[in-house]
Structure 1
Amino acid sequence: MALDLSKVGERERLKRQREPHWQRLRAGCFLGFRPSKRGGAGTWIARAYDEDSGKYQLKSLGDFGELAGNARFAAAKKEAEKLAEYVEAGGEIRAKLETVADACREYAESKPEAEARFKRYVYGDPLGKVKLDKLRKRHLKEWRERLEETPSLVSRSKEGETRTRKRAPSTVNRDMAVLRAALSKVLSPGAPKSEAAWQEALRAIPNADRQRTLYLDRDQRRTLLGALDSEIAPFVRALCLLPLRPGAMAALMAGDFDKRTSELTIGKDKTGKPRRIQLPAEAAGVMVEQSKDKLPSAPLFMRSNGKAWDKNSWKKPIAAAVKAAELPVGATAYTLRHSTITDLVSAGLPLLTIAQISGTSAEMIERHYGHLASDAAVKALGELAL
């Protein structure tokens, strides 16, 4: 005899199991019911066949606990039929986002750097389990306090003692920014100055990003190159010529550069998506020299031990060269990226073009460098004056 989920008594006699008990409503449309192990109302599930993928799509409908027992089937049946029509029309069911961790996973699907931050500071934290509809400012304030108290790892070396330092305000801002972006995708800002105003707990620390404000002009960069030893000089010179993140530059392989077209493919970067850029003559010359006699899978910028550069290996020689050249304290490999972007914006290159080359968004370029674009425009207008 076919299962009839419309009868309350028949539902109550069903065996409690993980797999729902299914009732066929029509071809390609099923309604399922899973009895509660704790004596609750049970859960209704819809199943609809997707001809494009050749698979069924599932969606949990909840328990309809606010309705009387004899009215729940009708409500669930209506939702299941509506869902089947949506799937048959080409729609795709999205996973239900219930917790902060769910929202973060959804946001980080194509953003590896965000996923790495969430793994460190959200998924294993009590905040990750908080229901989105129950999220309050206090939850994020407490998370932020825990984050600020978490030391930053200075040395990732497997050998020797692990060294840490107090988390910098700029690092806190970056960690909060990705969480704020993930939550903004699924939550509207709460009423200001209320517990619902979750966004207020994630406000950035003002004037925290000191590294981005440090600029080395062309003469200073030439001085820096002159103070470097020959092993790291090609890597740093490339950073002075292209506005790439140091990690993305270090991850390049010889096969990523096409000397016939002077094109470079940047694969490992913050965006998570490979991009291909055309190099100017000087930068292309550096790549030609570095890729000479190397296998495609070899590091484009190779250390004397045959390994690629990384944060732990480039940090000390660059710091030593900065000191020897008497450059501003705090100048790092990332300072070179900021300096190059600054020059490109000041030269009047379109912000979208700079964003594409740099591997960031035009919004970020506008936020941090927009004032330079305005200054460049004013200068250009001044040059037109008679």
Structure 2
Amino acid sequence: MAKTLTEAAITTRNARAKLEPGLYFKGIDPEVHLGYRKGKRGGVWLVRWRNWGPGANYLQTPLGTADDELKEGTLDYEGARRAARAAVEKARAETKAAAQGPALTVRLAVEAYIADRDARDSRRKGRQVRSDGGRRLTRYILGQPTRGRGKAIAAAPLADVALYALKEADLLSWRADLPDAMKATTKQRLINDLKAALNGAYTAHRDRLDANVPAVVKHGLKAAARDDDSVSVARDNQILTDGQIRKLIGAAREIDTEYAWDGDLFRLVVVLAATGARFSQISRMRVSDVQRAAGRLMLPVSRKGRGGKSGSVPIPVGKDVLDALIPAVMGRGKDAPLFERWRHKQVAGSIRWERDKRGPWQSVSELARPWDAIRERAKMPQVIPYALRHSSVVRGVRQNLPIRLVAALHDTSVPMIERHYGRYIADGLEELAARAIVPLVPAVDGDKVIRMAENRS
């Protein structure tokens, strides 16, 4: 039978001053006792608790110096109680985690997430690839060895933190250590990847983890407050006029001809400009998605967000766009990729490259080099391919199309449109309001204004 705990008066400095040197306890839980060890020159706090592991014996650990003489840097009774509870909760969580196998760490969560993302992207592209999220997390969480001329990158301290012990401070410290030069959008993508990895690990192992883990992740990785003015300025720089877009398309036609792209580059740029779609959507289009009789293109929905989205969105386009696509659809199967390009291989024993075979566009990075040539030819050195999407959204807003329709055509949400293009929405509404203005003040001879008769009815 367990012995009955004999409690001592240790709650106040005066009570502890009356005690003889020795060890005293006071219960704070049926199996947790706050201890006070008094010496000749003051005392210290400790806690003991029943071990849930093998042997079921008691364990104990020191907590700190009691405030018998000094208050600064010491613990009073209530402070010691809080420290005792925290120490026991941590110890029991470690014992529970050890009993269920190797501790789950941030590293293991990130590695599982990267494997899943890489497998998903490989299935979509039909070949083995590394996901963008995997690259980011490897660089800024897991670390990587020396590669060629690149220096080795050490793993972040966060990588070895156990999930059961994860604190908001761990996540905030990791965020603070990210490079200042990192773009805000890149930083947010990295944070989103880490959030998805941690939440995925909790979902898969919630029987082993504390229920507070999702809250820790939510608050430790919440989106930083944005400077809306800076976002607006960045967007303004990439809103193109119709004339500028035609200039880019004309430059794309010239570069296509000069570098023997056989129309592949030109057609891709035309559809990017006409639809405002993402590259990832256009690259999945099929020949059957060109519906010339209906005057439209069927655009695959994006893979952004949760859930398995499928289907296509009809996008009306002009005859000029449909005519540009005729070479890509004539004589080809309905299920064939609409946009293809030549693949090249190096001639054996030579530095010369030659055409090998045709295949679909696989990554937006394949557009980087030809786009540099296009914008140089168009004398628009700062323009990016995504400017075609920004401009398409603003074009719809300026035409006073319903915002919900603009969002649907661009496979995004109304809040996203309002957040990033609110200025142009306001301009369009102002124009509509201006059209509703009618003369109200009656004129008289000599253009003198007279007061309207008061309505006495």
Closer, same or farther: CA 236–117 of 1 in aligned 2, 3 Å: closer
Rate the CA distance shift 1:208–1:364 in 2: closer, same or farther, 3 A: closer
Amino acid at match of 1:301: F
Q: 1:128 to 1:378 in 2, by over 3 A?
A: farther
Q: Equivalent of 2:220, from 187, 198, 213?
A: 198
Partners of 1:342 and 1:369 within 8 A in 2? yes
> Structure 1 residues 131 and 287 mapped into 2: Cα distance closer, same or farther (>3 Å)?
farther
Q: 1:344 to 1:134 in 2, by over 3 A?
A: farther
Offset of residue 222 of structure 1 = 0.7
Alignment of 1:88-127 (within 5 A): 101=109, 116=131, 119-122=134-137, 125=142, 127=158
SS for the counterpart of 2:379 is: coil
The answer for the alignment partner of 2:175 in structure 1 is 144
Offset of 1:223 from its aligned partner? 1.1
Higher radius of gyration, 1 or 2: 2
Amino acid paired to 2:174: W
Distance in 1 (CA, whole Å) between partners of 2:233 and 2:275 is 21
Distance verdict in 2 for CA 1:382–1:236, change over 3 Å: same
Moved more, 288-297 or 347-356: 288-297
1:248 and 1:138 map into 2 onto residues whose CA distance is 39
Q: Distance in 2 between matches of 1:252 and 1:371?
A: 32
The within-5 A match list for 1:148-163 is 148=179
Of residues 264, 271, 282, the one that matches 2:298 is: 264
Q: Is 1:330–2:382 an aligned residue pair?
A: yes
1:378 deviation in Å?
1.2
Q: 1:285 to 1:352 in 2, by over 3 A?
A: farther
Aligned to 1:224: 248
Match of 2:313 in 1: 277
1:308 and 2:360 are equivalent in the alignment = yes
Q: Where does residue 69 of structure 1 map in the other structure?
A: none
1:171 deviation in Å?
1.5
Change (3 A) 1:257 1:269: farther
Provide the secondary structure at the position in 2 that maps to 1:148. Answer: coil
Distance 1:368-1:290 versus aligned 2 partners, 3 A rule? same
Tell me what 2:273 maps to: 240
Distance (Å, rounded) in 1 between the aligned partners of 2:105 and 2:414: 31
- State how far apart, in whole Å, the 1-side matches of 2:53 and 2:273 are: 64
Give the number of the structure with larger relative contact order, counting CA–CA contacts within 8 Å between residues 6 or more apart. Answer: 1
Q: Report the alpha carbon displacement of residue 172 of structure 1 after superposing the two structures with TM.
A: 1.4
1:298 aligns with 2:332: no
- TM-score, normalization by structure 2: 0.48
Give distance in 2, aligned partners of 1:226 and 1:343. Answer: 20
Aligned to 1:170: 185
How has the CA–CA distance of structure 1 residues 356 and 175 changed in structure 2, closer, same or farther, with 3 Å as cutoff? farther
Q: What does 1:341-380 correspond to in 2, within 5 Å? A: 341-380=393-432
Report the AA paired with residue 266 of structure 1: P
1:251 paired with 2:284, answer yes
Question: If the length of structure 1 is used for normalisation, what is the TM-score?
Answer: 0.56
Alpha carbons 1:238, 1:286 under 8 Å: kept: no
Name the amino acid aligned to 2:284. Answer: A
Cα distance in 2 between the residues matched to 1:361 and 1:182: 25
